[in-house]
Amino acid sequence: MVGVRFDEKPERDFDPAGEQGGIGFGERGGTDHLTHHPGARDEGRQELGAPHYNASLAARHNLAVSLARDLKDSGVTSNVVSPGAILAGPVQEYLTGVASARGWGETWEEIERAAAEDFVPNDVGRLGRPEEIAAAVLYLTGPLADYVSGATIRVDGGTIRSVH
């Protein structure tokens, strides 16, 4: 899932999950909101695709690889940090607000674990933290990543279950 900064308000709804089901971020009537799109996990169906979104993710990776080739011998590398669902204030507010109706518990720990299971199942069982994304970016900008070029680093708690 693509992260959205809530201090940079989009002109229209941002729905990274599309018809597939999941959490979508956006703005309506001047207020930030977070919406859940009914999908496979809620209804026990096989997940529906979001080909336009999935294609954009593949394009992002291919762009990083192509750019890395173009930057050859320049001392500059091109890589992608691919975040999963990240906990931000509005996300926590939304999840806490719907927790009771969904039977997710009362403490934030219970709510987060249940929300992660329902919305974005991953191996860690929680949402990511902004500082975890920052750590990946910091690594890529440091000298220990000089040999990393054209890579996609997933910081998603194991949400994506494929290898590339």
Q: Show me where the domains of the chain are located.
A: 18-155
Q: Give 163 or 120, the one with higher predicted confidence.
A: 120
For residue range 28-44, list pLDDT tens digits in order: 333 333 334 444 344 33
One-letter identity of residue 115:
A
CA 67/CA 64 separation, integer angstroms: 5
Catalytic sites, residue numbers = 53
CATH classification (class only), 18-155? alpha beta
- CA dihedral over 134, 20, 112, 157, signed as positive or negative: negative
25 strand-pairing partners = 14, 34
86-130 pLDDT per residue, tens: 999 999 999 999 999 999 999 999 999 999 999 889 999 999 999
CB 17 within 8 A of CB 3: no
Q: State residue 37's pLDDT score.
A: 41
Q: Please tell me the predicted confidence (pLDDT) of residue 48.
A: 52
pLDDT (0 to 100) of residue 7? 43
Query: What is the token pair recorded at 85?
Result: 């669902």
